[in-house]
Amino acid sequence: MKRNFTLILSIVCALNCSPQSRVDLTPLFLAAINLSQTSESQNEFPFRVISPQEGEILTVYRSETTVQANSEGEFEIFHEGKKLFTFPSSPSSPQTSPAFKPKNGENSIQIHFKKPDGTTFQKEINFYFGTKLSAGAAHSGFLKNGNVYTVGRNNFGQLGTGHSTGDNNNDVIVPLDSIRDIFSIHFNQNNSMAIAKNGSVYTWGNNAKGQLGIGNNNNPNPKEAGDRLPPTLVPGIDDAVMGAYGFNHALILKSDGTLVSFGQNNVGQLGNGEVNLNVNSFSTNPVAVVNLRDVIQVIAGSEHSAALTENGEVYVWGKNQYGNLGNGRLSAANTVQSTPVKVEGLSGIKQIANGRDHILALASDGKIYSWGLNASGQLGIGGSGFPNPTPIPTQVLNITNASSVWAGGTQSFSILKSGEVKGWGANGNTANLAIGETNTSKVYEPNKAVVGIENVIHFGCGATHNFALLGNGEIYGWGWNFKGSLGRQDLQSNWGAPNPVSITLP
């Protein structure tokens, strides 16, 4: 700055000289401009954070930091104030830190960059680990500031209020005052789960197959009004980081990378290696899933379960009627697979999702692979009419830059790195894809979906209704409003909303 001032002063003096002594000032002006630009360049922030993004929501139990510097120097990565990694910068390309485990709920990372001259620059990025939106067959859940809100069908007590009026509409969103400090929710079919920041697990809803994991399968008549179990603590679990519900079974991912499961086990969906299973097989208490370690994500479909491991591999167990296992074969509906099976042909997978009987896998290069049931086009691989199941991972068409995948029922979604949302699968009268109309019954390959809103960062997918969370905190829902599941009193029940509608929590 001192050099700039000296040069500018020289120019001013030159301008005040007599006409006879004036010289061409162009070189001086150019030099001043060049020095000014150099000074500004030196004051620019010397690195950028590529991931995680501020406010990002992670649904995989794994985090890493990607940065890029514009000069030589050294990076230090801190998580919650604790230094994790140190590495030299490489200005020619982005650099990714080793992976680390996020904590339940809110997280912060601090990135320090030190130049060779000792100058240090710092940035802090805040992100979230957990699921904030979830939906079942006809009920819905929302998480805000550690509090759970529910709406929709409540015949099994799946709203968690401790009481049911039978199978009536419930279109008013209600808070659950009996549980607090929740960081993640997981709903499906007629069940609900909430995980507290301290690793405790609460379940409620249908318990006919012991899928609450509380040691019994007591279940009231869903057609009758009366008391229902409120959110109930699952005994013996205090280190949960993620959960998943299938139609009648549940899985819990623990902080050590292992899984436990409970509920129905007719085709081995609990993954505990049990044999001689039948339609009456179930476990009312958590049992260990065998032969799996280093799990970072778990999901569940109708009667299958799937897990993603730290090294990017996918394992599936349970039902294989529609090629759910991804092993190239279709099996009889009652065929048992009670141990996890690796899905061959996949590598570098960073996220998985599933609907009723189909599975999506997002690779690190932005491509998506799918397999399983495809009657509604939910695999996104083209076709018409009622396509046959596909029992091997097949690349989803027209997407090479996905940042996340989501699925529910017979519909699928992807948020692209550009921020655009693509959808495919069932639509029709239930308006699953939010494409603005219901005349299109099925979409066989990815197309523009969730029209009218932007900056979607998080999904909650149900059987035929879905929700999206925007970067500004707003929530939108669409699809079949069965039993008031969209939480809008002004919408007709049993009607499909083809455009996203705003959802307001009390």
Q: What is the per-residue pLDDT across 188-246, written as a single tens digit (0 to 9) for each?
A: 999 999 999 999 999 999 999 999 999 999 999 999 999 999 999 999 999 999 999 99
Residue whose C-alpha is closest to residue 78's, from 46, 119, 117, 124: 124
* Both tokens assigned to 501: 């509608």
Average of per-residue pLDDT across 409-415: 98
- Which residues have a Cβ under 8 Å from the Cβ of 54 and sit 6 or more positions away? 125, 126, 127
In a domain, residue 171? The reply is: no
Give 161-180 pLDDT, tens digit per residue.
999 999 999 999 999 999 99
For residue 59, the enclosing domain spans 47-128
In a domain, 383, yes or no: no
Does the pLDDT of residue 3 top 70, yes or no? no
Q: Are 386 and 433 in contact (CB under 8 A)?
A: no
Query: In the predicted model, what is the mean pLDDT of the chain?
Result: 92
Number of residues written out for the chain: 506
Q: What is the pLDDT of residue 25?
A: 45
Give me the sign of the Cα torsion angle 487, 153, 432, 468: positive
Q: Residue 185 to residues 129, 192, 208, 408, 477: CA-CA distances in angstroms?
A: 12, 8, 21, 15, 17
pLDDT at 43: 52
Q: In CATH, what number is assigned to the domain containing residue 56?
A: 2.60.40.10
Residue 188 lies in a domain: no
- List for the chain the helix, strand, coil content (%; round to 5): 10, 40, 50
Whether residue 118 has pLDDT greater than 90: yes
**Residue 310 lies inside a defined structural domain of this protein:** no
Give the C-alpha separation, 272 to 127, whole Å. 34
pLDDT band at residue 382 under the 50/70/90 scheme: very high
Q: What is the pLDDT of residue 492?
A: 87
Residue 488 lies in a domain: no
SS3 428: helix
Give the residue, 33 or 505, on which the prediction is more confident. Answer: 505
Q: Quick one: what percent of the chain has pLDDT higher than 90?
A: 90
**How far apart, in whole angstroms, are the C-alpha atoms of residue 285 and residue 265?**
12
The answer to whether residue 98 sits within a structural domain is yes
pLDDT at 452 over 50: yes
Between the two ends of the chain, the Cα-to-Cα distance in Å is: 55
Indicate whether 29 pLDDT > 70.
no
- The predicted model gives 140-164 an average pLDDT of 98
What is the structure's pLDDT at 85?
Answer: 97
Give the total number of structural domains in the chain. 1
Task: Specify the pTM.
Answer: 0.91
Give the pLDDT band of residue 28 (cuts 50, 70, 90): very low
pLDDT of amino acid 31: 41
Residue 56 resides in a domain: yes
Q: What is the dihedral of CA 332, 334, 339, 342, to 10 degrees?
A: 30
Give a three-class secondary structure readout of 157-172.
CCCCCCEECCCCCCCC
| Res 494 pLDDT > 90 | no
Q: What is the DSSP letter of 430?
A: G
**Averaged pLDDT for residues 3-28:** 41
* 109 has a pLDDT exceeding 60: yes
Q: C-alpha dihedral over 134, 139, 143, 149, to 10 degrees?
A: 180
Is 59 inside a domain boundary? yes
The residue whose two tokens read 């960081």 is 183
Predicted confidence band of residue 34 (pLDDT cuts 50, 70, 90): very low
